[in-house]
Amino acid sequence: MVDRPNKPAALATTPGLPPQAQVNISHGNQRVTAVLPTGESVEILLHGATVISWKAADDTEKLWVSNAAKLDGSKPVRGGIPLVFPVFGTAPDHAATSKLPQHGFARSSRWEFLGKSTSESGDASVKLDFGLSSASLSDEVKALWPYDFNLLYSVTLDAKTLTTSMVVTNQGNEPFEFQMLLHTYFKIKDISSTTVTGLEGASYVDKVDNASVKTESASEVSITGETDRIYTPVKKEEPIAIVEGSSKTFNISRDNLEDTVVWNPWTEKAAGIGDFAPKDGYKNMICVEAGSVQGWVNLENGDQFEGAQTITSL
């Protein structure tokens, strides 16, 4: 072969188009990673379609993942953004979901990566789509929840925000009921100086206090011990914020998700969770979780439900 000294160089991008996000599948077809031209990145484990990393351009991690989290598909991930469907917690009194494991099967199922789409405008962004259907479930899981459904989960990354949305479709002849939650673990510097705003006036179920129903009177909710609350915010259109010290670090906007769970295991609970590490990691995380978990969403044949959250890094 003749070597041409003036041969044309390979083009990195198509002329005239702005730089695009780079999407890669790695770890033996187990993970999908997207990196924007500006350096922000997101990584999703196909086991559970769990977002396990969301980084700023300077490589600062925004999500907390336990050091003992299983990322090999052997169990749901402790940290990141696990997907809760079709039941929140356990529901022994709800016949259709009574036999399912805690938080359902979405977070422990293998999802299919359906592809990417990028912004055609000057603002770099990328959307990654993932799918799970009744056809892809094991016979064991189908026996526990025998409905014909399809889930489309989308993760959209741009320079300042991460949007996660779920579309649930009933593809069968029989209606079904479900709950869903985006179980987001935020990484923070110090829980003792962190508060959550946007919950004042909201009714909430305090699961640490015998599931008693209370009303939030504080404009800033502090975490001073084990916390496990299901809020139904009264100001649905306003974002919920995580405040560290005197500065907001995250805004969480919800779309068609009426409830917000606030969770921190604190000392004793963290010590008893096998895959929670380090044991004092509760000091550096807080879960603020958008979902629909108070009651049940009923979906008739052919109907769809869509819920989403958009997290803005401030």
Of 236 and 14, the one with more pLDDT: 236
pLDDT band, residue 103 (cuts 50/70/90) = very high
**How much is the mean pLDDT over the chain?**
94
For range 108-113, the mean pLDDT: 98
Question: At the topology level of CATH, where does 22-313 sit?
Answer: Beta-galactosidase; Chain A, domain 5 (2.70.98)
- What pLDDT score does 16 carry? 60
pLDDT for the residue 261? 98
With a cut of 60, say whether residue 234 has pLDDT above it.
Answer: yes
Tokens 């001073």 found at: 224
- Active site annotation includes 200: no
Q: What is the pLDDT of residues 258-313, one digit of tens each?
A: 999 999 999 999 999 999 999 999 999 999 999 999 999 999 999 999 999 999 99
Exactly one of 40, 216, 244, 289 is catalytic; which is it?
289
Q: Per residue in 1-46, pLDDT tens? A: 344 444 433 334 455 667 889 999 999 999 999 999 999 999 999 9
Q: Which residues are annotated as a binding site?
A: 78, 102, 107
- DSSP states along 218-271: -SEEE--S-EEEEEE-S-TTSPEEEEETTEEEEEEEEES--EEEEEE-HHHHHH
Sorted by where each begins, the domain ranges of the chain are: 22-313
CB distance 312 to 253 below 8 Å: yes
| 289 carries an active-site annotation | yes
Q: What is the pTM of this model?
A: 0.93
* pLDDT over 50 (residue 174): yes
Among 180, 167, 171, smallest CA distance to 107 is for 180
Q: Rounded to whole angstroms, how far apart are CA atoms 24 and 33? A: 5
Q: Which of 105-114, 175-184, 233-242 has the lowest mean pLDDT?
A: 233-242
Known binding residues for substrate: 78, 102, 107
40, 47, 103, 183: the catalytic one is 183
pLDDT of res. 122: 58
Q: What percent of the chain has pLDDT over 70?
A: 94
Contact 55, 61 (CB under 8 A): yes
Mean pLDDT of the 34-60 span = 97
